[in-house]
Amino acid sequence: MKAAILSAPQPVSERPLQIVEVADPRPRSGHVLLRIRACGVCRTDLHIVEGELPPKQVRIIPGHQIVGDVVDGELLGARVGVSWLGGTDGTCTYCKRGMENLCDSPTFTGYTVAGGYAEYAFARSDFVFPLPQALDDLHAAPLLCAGIIGFRSLRVAGVEKGERVGLFGFGASAHLAIKVLQAWDCEVYVSTRGKSHRELAESMGATWVGSETEKPSVELDRAVTFAPSGDVVVAALSSLRKGGIVAINAIHLDRMPQFDYDKLLWGERQLRSVANMTRADARDFLALAAEIGLRPKVTVFKLDEANEALMAVKNDAVDGAAVIVP
Ligand SMILES: [Zn+2]
Ligand SMILES: [Zn+2]
């Protein structure tokens, strides 16, 4: 099969992914074989390819937002989705407490096991999600990480109906989260760099839109940050009311700057990180997405253009989400 392989992390401008023919994946028990229809491109893929996340395998196929048909194994013939959480041990203290997103021995799709920048992939049969018919391939793919983890971020931020919520950054994840927030009658305040991202936020009905350094004129109940930047986290904190919560939706931050505790955290403001996802997050979100007719804005790339897709994500040149079609 054809696949995009990473052997050595490098800046994406060096085109680190090699698109080559590799042996077809061999059947494994407890797994299903998928013929891939589409695979979303996530900022985490960029962190893997550029080495901000240390390599776990000598060679890896990235990609963890896979839509595919089961061609071998349980659920034969079903169209399913695979996300970042490729598996857990089921036995550690976190799994036993219902916090499988924090599992001590997790498997991550496209990082610790082969992912979806390919024609075929294996996935654990208990970690695939049958996809509602209402979600077509291209529009389902970005839901599988950007969507699910964006949804988890809203949960971690404790968002309640009708609240004022800030989204700091407006890429693939945020442009899905805004639709969920609107379905919950929230006012959405978007702070983001890049004119086209601000225009997209405006066209999607944000209550307020500003650049990454501008502050909304009202205090926010909740905020979610999406940029891999500690300065953005501090900007989000400074926009909160007392008792408000900032959830950081980023697997990697450039650094966490010093900030003024008395002004920014005192008053029971909280700073929380968002780590991975649970299968319950995935199921709840996919059902909600089908119900509210969530349709991401997508830009399609061929598998041969996997490096270009990552470059576009890095340069904020994609409005909405990038999707690779093999
Ligand atoms: Zn575990
Ligand atoms: Zn992701």
pLDDT tens digits, 185-244: 999 999 999 899 999 999 999 999 999 878 898 999 999 999 889 999 999 999 999 999
230 C-alpha vs ligand 1 centroid, how far in Å? 29
267 C-alpha vs ligand 2 centroid, how far in Å? 33
Band (27; pLDDT cuts 50, 70, 90): confident
- Residue 12 corresponds to which tokens in the numbers above? 């994406």
Band (155; pLDDT cuts 50, 70, 90): very high
Average pLDDT score, the chain: 95
250 C-alpha vs ligand 2 centroid, how far in Å? 9
Q: What is the pLDDT of residues 37-59, one digit of tens each?
A: 999 999 999 999 999 999 999 99
CA 284 to each of CA 165, 181, 243, 309: distance values in angstroms, whole numbers, following the listed order: 20, 15, 27, 29
295 C-alpha vs ligand 1 centroid, how far in Å? 33
223 C-alpha vs ligand 1 centroid, how far in Å? 29
281 C-alpha vs ligand 2 centroid, how far in Å? 14
- Residue 60 corresponds to which tokens in the numbers above? 């890896």
* 280 contacts: CB under 8 Å, gap ≥ 6: none
102 C-alpha vs ligand 1 centroid, how far in Å? 7
Task: Using the predicted structure, report yes or no on whether residue 114 has a pLDDT greater than 80.
Answer: yes
Identify the weakest region by mean pLDDT among 16-20, 211-215, 311-315.
211-215
Task: Using the predicted structure, report yes or no on whether residue 319 has a pLDDT greater than 90.
Answer: no
Calpha distance 233→312 (Å, rounded): 24
* 117-136 average pLDDT score: 96
196 C-alpha vs ligand 2 centroid, how far in Å? 22
Q: Around ion ligand 2, which residues have CB less than 5 A away?
A: 42, 44, 84, 145
Calpha distance 289→283 (Å, rounded): 10
What pLDDT, on a 0 to 100 scale, did the predictor assign at position 252?
A: 87
Angle between helices 146-156 and 174-183 (to 10 degrees): 50
What pLDDT, on a 0 to 100 scale, did the predictor assign at position 258?
A: 96
Contacts 24+ apart (CB under 8 A), 16-25: 16/49, 16/50, 16/307, 17/49, 17/62, 17/117, 17/306, 17/307, 17/310, 19/303, 19/304, 19/306, 22/118, 24/120, 25/1, 25/114, 25/120, 25/121, 25/122
- Residue 50 corresponds to which tokens in the numbers above? 């550029």
Task: Using the predicted structure, report yes or no on whether residue 305 has a pLDDT greater than 80.
Answer: yes
What pLDDT, on a 0 to 100 scale, did the predictor assign at position 26?
A: 80
